Structures are given as structure tokens and as C-alpha cells.
Amino acid sequence: MDISIRIGGEAGQGIQSISSIIARTFVRHDFYVFINQDFASRIRGGHNFDQVRISNVPVQAVDDKVHILIALDKETTRRDIDCMAENGILLFDEDAIDFTSESPNHFSIPFGKIASEVGKSKIMINSVATGAAIALMDFDLQPVLNGLQEQFQQKGSEIIENNQKCAIAGYDFIRKNLKEKSLFRAPSAKSVRQKMLLTGSQALALGAMASGLKFYSGYPMSPSTAIMEFVSSRADQYNIVLEQAEDEIAAINMVIGAGFAGARAMTATSGGGFCLMAESLSLAGMTETPAVIVVAQRPGPSTGLPTRTEQADLNFVMHAGHGEFPRAILAPGHPAQAVHLMSKAFNLADKYQTPVIVLGDQHFNDTFFTVDELDLESITIDRGYILTDQDLPSPREYKRYSPGESGISPRILPGLTKAVLYADSDEHTEEGHITERATIRNQMMRQRMQKLERLRQEIGPPEIYPAGEAELVLLGWGSTHGVIKEAVDRLNQNGMVAQMMHYSELFPFNPRNIGIAELRKAKIIAVENNYTGQFADFFSKATGLSVHQRILKYDGRPFTAREIVDQIEDKNKENNNGYRGRLSQR
């Protein structure tokens, strides 16, 4: 089973309440659910949709075909009908929407009338629609009724009951009038409640908290804000201080202050906010202060498309900040990876006393993924080279920027030893005092930049799927993990020998992580949500390998597997089966 339901309507109509109840119902019955949220930058009105994909095998990408389309506004009937699968069903309310259709698959159902009569409130059209969708999938309604009870717990029994009645009425309407159209018989399953449904933002926040996050400062900016809100909702329980800053410059400087004092600290923002942080990123590099910064990308330049997705800030985060200093850049492709990489980000930041950037994007941050489990208990915390009084028999001799045995300078945390430390944004001596002497400058530059070489050894290899040799290698990073994997499966089903090479640990690049010689025989196809193929350029330069095709998308929407497969097959035809190489002839 692999069903996609799209609910389209205006902001404020309750699209998300429909998608979340349906999603939770199926996740609790051991299905895999993936919800893509497509919304405009406004609080009310506009056209938005949620697309819920339900499958009995793991799914981590948007499907290009919609099996059930629920139109809460006219715009949905205009824009979204093209996405429908051949036997897909459209539900709309002819009393509310000026739309007529001859198609036997387009059904009017009086959402508004049922809501008013049964639920005593027009707002409850979303519960009617939820019931109707469940009936079309021939699934049990009871878990939905339970879900409504949970959702409206705080609103009292009358609201709960009315919503439940609306769901039942919507369900019954479909059973009565469209029984023969219940094409999608969802296999019945028992409620197990083992899988988890969560967004990329929530996974990043969880990873940070379980890694010992103690201080968070941020300034609201889509699509990063959900991270701050999640941390905030649990800050008192996990003893985290969260301070909403007056701007992004304040946010990063508070993080640097807290990091200097010894608390694990982070901020999150999007590209525009990160622009404001650039000078302070360099400050963290120079003062050798750990800092973790999540950059949830959105399409630029400037304000761009504030609520949509893009991967166009890779070059920027790689080069942001004046001068030369070490940094690491990580980019998770799914929630388990987000947890692992947040933990790695904090450990690298502490160990190498330098900033670490975690790249997300709107698609990754706002999408709901289903995961079988998240392993937080195996997270290890490495605070790096920090001295205590026992290590400091003569505190006056302590020097913050002395080379240390391993090339990493010893930190102390202010107030926690008898020694004092001087940290400076100017070039400084081993003691941390301002200097302009050329020999010391050279020593300090080498000391800082040598950390980059050590960091490089910590960078993990890309994920290769499936293993073995391939003639087509689809190269991607960050949020495209799920969709590339799906495209690779489809290409292999179509008789090609394709493989995904997905990078989640991007910088500093370690070319020893991959088999360059084998890759030289393959055709490398870059898949990126940007205009130029930023990672493809970086990868080519670092490995000497050429990228044969770039599949790029910059309209602010995530890829579907079909888009990727079609472009590869088109190119293949163009090249006169150029992609059919030695492996497919075996």
C-alpha cells in the first residue's frame, strides 16, 4: 500500500488538523507516514496543502500522485487536480466551492452542511473530511475518534463529541453514497504504537537536548523557529535556559558567551539571519569558542520564498566569516541522522573549540517523518580538553592558547578553577593578550588551522545505497536523502544499475571516504535543490571527478522521485542510451 492524500485549502481552515489525525492514526497502526507541508507566508487565506503519504514500507519523500484530494477551497480544484492519480478521488463541497465536473471520480460531499447540522459549527468541516477520507481508505474509524478526543482534550466534552459526530457523519456519507469507490483498502492492522511521527526540527531539537544542550538563544525566522519552540516547550523540564534575542547577532553572541562559560549552547536561524551572524562566526573561530548553529535554509536571495525550500546556502556557510578558521558542516537527511549529527556537532564543537554548522532546510525541518526508533541513550558527550584545579598546580602559569599536547589548547571554564583566562578576538599570544608580532601570528594561525586537518579525520563517509558498483551514482546531500533513495529504487526497477551517494557530513571534505577509482567508471548525477549545483562543484573540486548531469530544482518545492527519474531517462534517450554502460549489459 502506498496512498497519498492531499488536503488543500486556505490558511486557518484546519488543514493540519486533518493531516495530523490521519497521520497519527496510521503511525499507531504501524504504517509509515510522511507529511509534506506546502504553505504560503501568511496567517490566513492563500492556498496551502498538506500531503500525507501512507505506506507499509518506509517512505521519506513526496509522491507525485495523489490518490485522495480533499478540496476545502476552489483553488485546490484549480491547482491540484493535475496531481491526481488515474483512479484518484476528489472530494469537494459544491455548496462552498463553485466547481462542477463530469468526472465519475469527483464527488461533492456537503462538508459545511454536515458540520453545521451535526457539529453545530462550520469549523468542524475538517472532522467531516477526516471521516470521509478514512472511509475512502476502508479503514477503521475508531482510532480517528480517539485521536479527536486527544486533540480536543482541553476544549471540553461537547467539542470532542461534536467533532466525533462530524467524523462519523463524514464516514457514513462515503460508506452510503460511494461504497463502490472505496478503492484503497488499507490492510487492517492492530494498534501497536511503536513508531514515532516527528518533524526534522523536532529531531534536531531532541538530538541537541539529549546531547546536553543547556543554553539556546535565537530570533524567530522561518523555517528554523520550530526548533526554538520545541526547546522552549521542554526547557523547564530539562533545565535549559532559552533566551529570545533581539536579533541574530545577539543570539550568536549569547551562544558564544554561554559556550565560553562552559554551557553547551546553540542557535538556529535561516540564511538571512545567518548573514547577520557571519562576523560572530569568525569570532568563535578566533577565540576558539564552541558554538553550534543550525541553518534551516529557505530560498533566497534576500527574503526569497520564506516558507519554501532550497539548498542554496552551502557555499555561504562554507565561506561565511572573514579570515580563515576551522569549522565543520553537517546536513542530516532523516530524523535518526539529525539526532546523531546534533550529538556529533556538539562533540566536535567542544573537542575542536570551534563553530559547527548543521544545515537543514524547510523541507527537512517542516516535514513529518515516521521512524521506528530514535536512539538517544547511546549518545555520548565529549566536552573536550578542559582543565580543572587538579590539572593546575600553579594557576598563574595557565595559558589559554598554549599549544597543548595534542595541538588543541587547554580550556578552563571561568570561575571553576583558581586560574583566569583571556580570550581575544584580536590576534593574541598564548596568554590571550593582544599581539601583532609576526612570529606569534604565524604560530597561532597554524595552531588554529591544524585543527581543520584533525576535524577532517572525524568526518564520516557518505551513505551508499545499495552497496556495490553502479553505473549511475546519484549524488546528494541533506534533505534529498529520501527522494534520491526512492529514485534509485525506481531506476533499478527500470533496469538500470543506480546507486545513491548521500553526504550528511560535508565539511571539511574527506576524499579518502570514497572509492575514487570505482567512481571514475560511473556516471555521477548530482541532485540538488539549487540553481548551480553547489555541492557538485565542491565535490568535483575535492575529488577530481566530473559530474555528468545536474538535476537541479529551485522553485521552492521539494523533488519527487518521478522528476528525478524522468530527467535521468530523458538524458539517457538524448545520449542514445548513454547511461547503459558495462554493468547493465552483464
Partner 1 sequence: MVTVEDFHSDDPIAWCPGCGNFSILKALKKALVDLQQKPHKLVIVSGIGQAPKTPHYLQSNCFNGLHGRTLPVATGIKLANHKLTVLAQGGDGDGYGEGGNHFLHAMRRNIDITYLVHNNQVYGLTKGQASPTSDLGFVTKTTPRGAISPACNPLLLAIASDCSFVARGFAGEIDHLAGLIIEGIRHKGFSLIDILQPCVSFNRVNTFKWYTERVYKIDADSQYDAGDRLKAFQKAQQWGDKIPIGIFYRNQRPNLEEQIPAIADQPLVAQQTDPDSFSELLETFK
Residues between 286 and 315 that touch partner 1 (CB under 8 A) = 287
Q: Select 143 or 476, whichever has its Cβ closest to partner 1.
A: 143
What's the grid cell of residue 297? 535554509
DSSP 3-state of 109: coil
Q: How far is the CB of 129 from partner 1 (least distance, A)?
A: 24
Q: Which of residues 430-449 bind partner 1 (CB under 8 A)?
A: 431-434
Q: How far is the CB of 585 from partner 1 (least distance, A)?
A: 47
DSSP 3-state of 77: helix
Q: Which of residues 23-52 bind partner 1 (CB under 8 A)?
A: 27-28
- Only segment of 189-197, 450-458, 528-536, 558-566 that touches partner 1 (CB under 8 A): 189-197
Q: Select 369 or 509, whichever has its Cβ closest to partner 1.
A: 369
- Only segment of 43-51, 70-78, 169-177, 202-210 that touches partner 1 (CB under 8 A): 202-210
Instruction: Fill in the per-residue mask, 109 to 148: x = in contact with partner 1 (CB under 8 A), - = not in contact.
Output: ----------------------------------------
What's the grid cell of residue 8? 488543500
Q: Select 163 or 217, whichever has its Cβ closest to partner 1.
A: 217
**Which residues, in sequence order, are CB contacts of 297 under 8 Å at separation 6+?**
270, 271, 309, 310, 311, 312, 313, 359, 360, 361, 362
Q: How far is the CB of 289 from partner 1 (least distance, A)?
A: 8
Cβ atoms 168, 187 nearer than 8 A: no
- Only segment of 159-167, 348-356, 422-430, 437-445 that touches partner 1 (CB under 8 A): 422-430
Q: How far is the CB of 34 from partner 1 (least distance, A)?
A: 14
DSSP 3-state of 375: coil
| Three-state secondary structure string covering 303-337 | CCCCCCCCCCCHHHHHHCCCCCCCCEEECCCCHHH
d(CA 567, CA 551): 7
What's the grid cell of residue 445? 594561525
Q: Select 376 or 449, whichever has its Cβ closest to partner 1.
A: 376
Q: Select 354 or 534, whichever has its Cβ closest to partner 1.
A: 354
- Selected from 79, 120, 175, 234, the binder of partner 1 by CB under 8 A is 234
- Only segment of 197-205, 438-446, 455-463, 522-530 that touches partner 1 (CB under 8 A): 197-205
Q: Which of residues 335-374 bind partner 1 (CB under 8 A)?
A: 374
- Only segment of 38-46, 53-61, 413-421, 564-572 that touches partner 1 (CB under 8 A): 413-421
Please report whether residue 236 would count as binding partner 1 according to CB under 8 A.
yes
Q: Select 51 or 287, whichever has its Cβ closest to partner 1.
A: 287
Q: How far is the CB of 276 from partner 1 (least distance, A)?
A: 11
Q: Select 180 or 373, whichever has its Cβ closest to partner 1.
A: 373
Q: Which of residues 204-223 bind partner 1 (CB under 8 A)?
A: 206, 209-215, 217
d(CA 127, CA 121): 11
Q: Select 202 or 567, whichever has its Cβ closest to partner 1.
A: 202
Q: How far is the CB of 210 from partner 1 (least distance, A)?
A: 5
- Only segment of 181-189, 231-239, 486-494, 538-546 that touches partner 1 (CB under 8 A): 231-239
d(CA 409, CA 400): 6
Q: How far is the CB of 472 from partner 1 (least distance, A)?
A: 36
Q: Which of residues 388-407 bind partner 1 (CB under 8 A)?
A: 395
Q: How many residues bind partner 1 (CB under 8 A)?
A: 72
Q: Select 210 or 568, whichever has its Cβ closest to partner 1.
A: 210
DSSP 3-state of 372: coil
Classify the C-alpha dihedral 202-232-10-152 as positive or negative: positive
Please report whether residue 552 would count as binding partner 1 according to CB under 8 A.
no
d(CA 367, CA 198): 8
d(CA 355, CA 255): 11
Residue of 223, 199, 426, 398 whose CA lies nearest to 308: 223
- Selected from 82, 86, 102, 377, the binder of partner 1 by CB under 8 A is 377
Report the relative pairing of strands 265-269 and 291-297 from DSSP bridges: parallel
DSSP of 455-505, one letter per residue?
A: HHTTPPPPEEES-S--SEEEEEEGGGHHHHHHHHHHHHHTT--EEEEEESE
Residue of 204, 378, 346, 327 whose CA lies nearest to 263: 346
- Selected from 53, 165, 195, 502, the binder of partner 1 by CB under 8 A is 195
**Entry field: residues in the chain:** 586
Residue of 69, 13, 77 whose CA lies nearest to 40: 13
Please report whether residue 66 would count as binding partner 1 according to CB under 8 A.
no
d(CA 168, CA 175): 10
d(CA 519, CA 526): 13
Q: Select 195 or 298, whichever has its Cβ closest to partner 1.
A: 195
What's the grid cell of residue 457? 579525520
Q: Which of residues 246-265 bind partner 1 (CB under 8 A)?
A: 246-247, 249-251, 253-263, 265
